[in-house]
Chains A and B, each alone.
Chain A
Amino acid sequence: MRHVISAVVQNVPGVLAHVSGMLASRGYNIDSLAVGETEDSALSRMTFVVVGDDKVVEQVRKQLEKIVTVVHVHDVSSQDYVERDLMLVKVAAEIGTKRTEIRELVDIFRGRIVDVGYADVIVEISGQESKVQAFIERIRPFGILELVRTGRIAMVRGSHTPQQELPDSASEVEFVA
């Protein structure tokens, strides 16, 4: 089972190393990890994609919650949510018909060409993992020179934010400080 877990953490030095170190040392399988500041500069958000059964994911969540600088952990994939992955891919594109084909493909996938070089173009694609993956397969025959992805980020639909929720049943805990 694939789960998307979102963690709000204190924006302090070392927290990323702490979290990634914990996940590695406990042997959890993390497919993707994205980090960035939130609307509150004191807090950052980490988004993980974890593959494992419910028991593994429950442990990942609890172990994350134990880290002092981790403020909140939420299994986004347990609800209706939007997920995106941003990719920049540099594709070999000699002047000629190839460029038109690439452009058509990019249009179909609703991407953008953001840079045009002498023999290459840089394409920006965002979307769900499956779409990004599909684009990679379609563009591969043209020659991928370089590929960069942000990792998955995700957000629950609706006005209800995860921070407003209490952590769920097994860990009967409350915020006290």
Chain B
Amino acid sequence: MIYGEVLGMSTQSAPQKNPQKNPQNDSVKNVRATTVMSGAEIVVKSIVDHGVDTIFAYPGGCSMPMHQALTRYADQLRTILPRHEQGGAFAAQGLARSTGKVGVVMATSGPGATNLVTAIADAKMDSIPLVAITGQVPTDVIGTDAFQETPMVEICRGITKHHYLVTKTDDIARVMKEAFHIATTGRPGPVLVDLPKDVQMDKCEVDWDVPMNLPGYRVTKRPNARPEQIRQMAAAIKHSKRPIIYCGGGIITGEASAELRELAEKTGIPVTMTVMGLGVYPADGPLSLDMLGMHGSAYSNYSVRDCDLLIALGVRFDDRVTGRLSEFAKHAKIIHVDVDPSELNKNKTAHISVGSDIKFALTELNKIVEAPEDISEWKKQCFALKAKHPFTYDQNFDGILQQHAIRTLSEMTKDRETYVTVGVGQHQMWAAQFFQFRKPRQWLSSSGLGTMGFGLPAAMGVQAAHPGALVIDIDGDGSFQMNIQELATLHCEKLPVKVLLLNNQHLGMVVQWEDRFEGANRAHTYLGPIDHEEASGTGKTEAHSFVEERYPNFVQIAKGYGCGGGTVRKRSDLKAALEEMINHPGAYVLDVQVPYQEHVLPMIPSKKTVDDMILS
């Protein structure tokens, strides 16, 4: 069977690589081979056998049999009950993004299943391995608009890597095997398995060795980048005068951070990262130009504009990175390496395009690559720009600016194992700019889909996977309220996640766009009562002015859920407040009351170019 071979090159860690080769599993398998089991039990046993130790699952009528089965495997598989299915799915993503293992979420049919949809789409955009298991109405009533029936496969076609509606209990073992295989190999992604209730309840003799039936599924097979492609890359680097490395989430997924760092060190080429790639190269490393793109550093964007060789590794030339495509790296020769061939030449035509496992390609390249002849002038230029245009904010304000809160937190946590999740908006971009990430998988952001409400549940999943680590959700008051119910899960499951809530009472990023492009006309971007002057934008507008009335009372909410909570507003109180948050034994919400007039800068407006960059 080719299964083992294929999995051998997956980026996953040992437990789920090869369940069959585990001696313990072998003995179990021999017993099981003749065992008659219910469909629900086959599902749960398959999950366990794929090395999963935590599942996020919310029960309902059509998934009850699986929940009953989960209780029988409680010693091997922790089931965490989220307070909303979307929270469960983002928690599974949090686990997956921070460990590299597959995340598993389960929900019932109908509304339970549709509540997963956003998180599934999110996993597709960011290439996160996720297996989503949904209950479905019994097969004899499918298609009759039965109670809690939705056509999940139909809904999820365009937002999954693959999807199954299982109609026979006999098929479950094979489908589960295929689902885990597809989710974790090649370019990872979400797989949906929709299981009608009768299929869960029926029994069958299980064949655990059933072969997969995937004649159309190809994963790039190592070794993959051809020797001549490696030589072409090395030659292009050698002859470049102004090279730059542009790397992204593919490096993290491909576990190739060490190889990337080696390439940078060997060649001395400056490195810029996408929002998905932060941590691939340390933010404080000597070659770091930090993040590029719409809210990336001025120096990275100027350097990409001026480079003559763009080495694009595990990236997809997203519009938030490139701005106007025709102007992006206009004068550069482009090398593009990605595991997904459909990303090559999709947005930008590459001169050397290599469909390859990134770790393999970089390992081979590192064997022969030589530093370019002389790029010292170029590096001087890049780092002079870095010195000239650092990320910056007003240091004289006696209140707390979002950037300051994040930078302070980054300083205070730099010597301990810290994971940071975020929602979406200004706080997300400031976290990307001002928190110094040094390792891959330390930073979790809904980057492609941009889902508000990602931060809290994702942190929950990270904490479940890393019980001893400091896990912080840096959130905005808009995003936080989209999955605030997960505070209950944090308390009840004893997951001591910390929330650094940058509370500006507004949907800050939209406010910023209103300020810049709509004459500051406030269109439903104030989060307090509608009769407040801020709701119509007639409040104070000078820099750093404050919304005095605060709504809602986040500390009271946190305490209502059984979590710790505190409020801070003065710069001089910030450190102590952060200390208290970090040292609190359980989950904690630190409500940092900040002004809302700050803009995330620099900014390259949509479809514009680096020369249109707003610096202040």
A contacts, CB < 8 Å to B: 9-10, 13-14, 17-18, 21-22, 25, 55, 58-59, 62-63, 65-72, 170-177
Contacts and interface: CB of A to CB of B under 8 A. Distances in A.
B341 A171 contact: yes
16 contacts: A10-B213, A10-B215, A14-B153, A59-B346, A62-B341, A67-B216, A170-B353, A172-B225, A173-B220, A173-B221, A173-B355, A175-B215, A176-B218, A177-B2, A177-B215, A177-B217
A135 B90 CA distance: 58
Interface string B211-240: 011111111110011100000000000000
Given A172-B355, A176-B5, 15 more contacts: A10-B216, A18-B157, A55-B349, A58-B345, A65-B218, A65-B342, A70-B216, A170-B353, A172-B224, A173-B218, A173-B355, A174-B218, A175-B215, A176-B2, A176-B218
B182 interface: yes
A59 B157 CA distance: 19
Nearest to A62: B342
Contacts of A173: 218-221, 341, 355
Contact of A66 (B3, B5, B181, B342): B342
B48 interface: no
Interface in B283-321: none
Nearest to B161: A68
B158 A22 contact: yes
B154 interface: yes
Contacts of A58: 345
B182 A17 contact: no
Nearest to B187: A66
Contact of B220 (A18, A62, A67, A172): A172
A89 to B, nearest CB: 35
A22 B154 CA distance: 12
Contacts of B470: none
Given A72-B216, A171-B355, A176-B218, A63 B224 contact: no
Interface-central residue, B5, B340, B342, by most chain A CB under 10 Å: B342
Contacts of A63: 342
A69 B342 CA distance: 16
Interface-central residue, B157, B161, B224, B225, by most chain A CB under 10 Å: B157
Interface-central residue, A17, A21, A68, by most chain B CB under 10 Å: A68
Nearest to B220: A173
Nearest to B342: A62
Nearest to A17: B157
Interface residues of B, number: 37
Interface of B: 2-3, 5-6, 153-154, 157-158, 161-162, 165, 181-182, 212-221, 224-226, 340-342, 344-346, 349, 353-356
Contacts of A62: 341-342
A93 to B, nearest CB: 43
Contact of A21 (B157, B161, B342): B157
Main DSSP-derived SS at the B contact region: loop
Contacts of A17: 154, 157
A59 B342 contact: yes
A177 B214 contact: yes
Contacts of A22: 157-158
Nearest to A71: B216
Given A58-B345, A176-B221, A69 B216 contact: yes
A175 B341 CA distance: 14
Nearest to A9: B216
A174 B215 CA distance: 11
Contact of A170 (B162, B219, B344): B344
Nearest to A68: B162
Interface-central residue, A59, A68, A177, by most chain B CB under 10 Å: A177
A177 B6 contact: yes
Contact of A177 (B212, B342, B344): B212
Contacts of B158: 21-22, 25
Contacts of B354: 172
Given A172-B341, A172-B355, A71 B215 contact: yes
A172 B213 CA distance: 22
A115 B154 CA distance: 40
B66 to A, nearest CB: 23
A105 to B, nearest CB: 44
Contacts of B154: 17
Contacts of B213: 10
Given A18-B157, A55-B345, A66-B342, A175 B218 contact: yes
Interface-central residue, B3, B217, B345, B355, by most chain A CB under 10 Å: B217
Contacts of A174: 218, 221
Nearest to B356: A172
Nearest to B5: A176
A13 B346 CA distance: 29
A170 to B, nearest CB: 6
Contacts of B224: 172
Contacts of A59: 342, 345-346
A68 B345 contact: no
Nearest to B162: A68
B341 A68 contact: no
A55 B350 CA distance: 12
Given A62-B342, A172-B226, A177-B6, A68 B157 contact: no
A12 to B, nearest CB: 9
Contacts of B356: 172
Nearest to B154: A17
Contacts of B216: 9-10, 67-72
A161 B159 CA distance: 33
Nearest to A66: B342
B345 to A, nearest CB: 7
A172 to B, nearest CB: 5
Nearest to A173: B218
A82 B259 CA distance: 49
A176 B219 contact: yes
A163 to B, nearest CB: 10
A170 B165 CA distance: 33
